[in-house]
Amino acid sequence: MGDDFTRLPDLASRRLGGSVVSANDELFAERENLVKPEAPSYQTYTFGHKGQVYDGWETRRRRQPGHDWAIVRLGLPGVVRGVVVDTAFFKGNYPPEVSVEGTSAEGYPTADELQQAEWVPLVPRSAAKGDAPNRFDVDVPWRFTHVRLCMYPDGGVARLRVHGEVVPDPRFLTAGAIDLAALEHGGAVSGCSNMFYSSPTNLISPGLARVMGEGWETARRRDDGNDWVELRLAGAGVVRLAELDTSWFVGNAPGWASLRTCDARAADPADPGSWAELLPRTRLLPDTRHRFRVDAGAEATHVRLDVYPDGGMARVRLHGELTAEARAGIGLRFLNLLPEAHARQILVDGGLDEAAADRLTSARPLATLAEVPQPLRDLLGG
């Protein structure tokens, strides 16, 4: 998939459940525009009663000291690897400097509660250009639930993209069958033959696709090969039910598809011989949600979807059970990636006294969940 952080999912996108929960000012243009999944647009001479209509967030001209800000709840919490502050079409009214911070919170805090949270710098106060996708790498190894965009002193931003790796909360991965490939559960795209029209991450995104553009579509092949996507499951598990959804793809759905599995703990996914058949090459129909009972038997960490010869698909769902080892691993990763204050809070709520919680928080990264109180350990999957 490459090293470009924009290949990672946009954790703030409205499509994944992101929301702008608060902003100090939005007189000229609404804060909600920041997390719209589509690219910003512009039409000349489209004036409302507050001036030119902008597809972005724009504050009034500041006449007092200070700066403007907006708080975004990430649709899927995770580790942020890069941020794009896109000032598209803001030319004489963009902020000359911006910064981005992150915080991690339990539950669903209000805007007032978030103002009192402990915020960690992700992007320091940095120069920004107008009408440009200002890209910033992030090197902060914690899981965040919210980010705060600050503009110095004021101005307009079209979109805020927060690219990163999803880190699911294991307390919501209940025992039993789950979608092992789901982005919200920690699944990811680990390889792809072609993403000409749209990202393969759409295949494992939440909800149903509303239009063709919310799926994955390849360019037309002019050879005798076929296209494919490799998925890394949320953890090792056994797939029991597969769904291949070609909704909205009418004249460009694949003719056939197959599924194979690989256990990367015992074999190299790069070796073609390490893959076992899960679903044989099967005919697909256009604009149809296909469901297949599969009998994998063996545990897997990766699943490869092959489509023949090319085309588009809206969603892939792979329902099954995580192994006990995988559930414990997800819980351990979650606890190790929490910022200090949030980790300490969870440990205290789980039964540790404050001194013991401080010691355990400082000892991270933990190798096992053995020192975690038993009730909390059960919730985390250990």
- Give the pLDDT mean for 8-30: 95
Does the pLDDT of residue 188 top 70, yes or no? yes
pLDDT of 270 > 50? The answer is: yes
The closest of 320, 336, 292, 298 to 175, measured between CA atoms, is: 320
CA pair distance 73, 83, nearest whole angstrom: 15
Q: CA–CA distance from 70 to each of 23, 67, 82, 123, 272 (Å)?
A: 4, 11, 18, 15, 48
Q: Which residues contact 296 (CB under 8 A, 6 or more apart)?
A: 238, 239, 240, 261, 276, 278, 320
Q: What integer pLDDT is reported at residue 210 of this predicted model? A: 92
Burial group, residue 370, by CB count within 10 angstroms (0-12, 13-18, 19+): exposed
pTM of the model: 0.91
Helices (H), the chain: 111-115, 324-337, 340-349, 354-362, 374-380
Mean pLDDT of 336-361: 94
In whole numbers, what is the pLDDT of the chain averaged over residues?
A: 94
| Cβ atoms of residues 334 and 168 within 8 Å | yes
Question: What number is the average pLDDT over the span 280-284?
Answer: 97
State residue 47's pLDDT score: 77
- Looking at residue 142, its pLDDT comes to 98
Residue matched to tokens 């639930």: 145
CA distance 214 to 200: 10
What DSSP string runs through 140-199?
--SEEEEEEEEEES--EESEEEEEEEE---GGGS-SS-EETT-GGGT-EEEEES--SSS-
The pLDDT of residue 295 is: 82
Q: Is the pLDDT of residue 2 over 60?
A: no
Output the pLDDT for position 37.
94
SS3 333: helix
Angle between helices 354-362 and 340-349 (to 10 degrees): 140
Mean pLDDT value of segment 294-308 = 92
pLDDT value at residue 71: 98
What average pLDDT does range 121-132 have in this prediction?
Answer: 98
Q: Which of 2-6, 242-246, 306-310 has the lowest mean pLDDT?
A: 2-6
Q: What is the pLDDT of residues 67-115, one digit of tens each?
A: 999 999 999 999 999 999 999 999 999 999 999 999 999 999 999 999 9
Confidence of residue 1 (pLDDT cuts 50, 70, 90): very low
The whole-number average pLDDT for the span 360-372 is 93
The average pLDDT across 323-338 equals 96
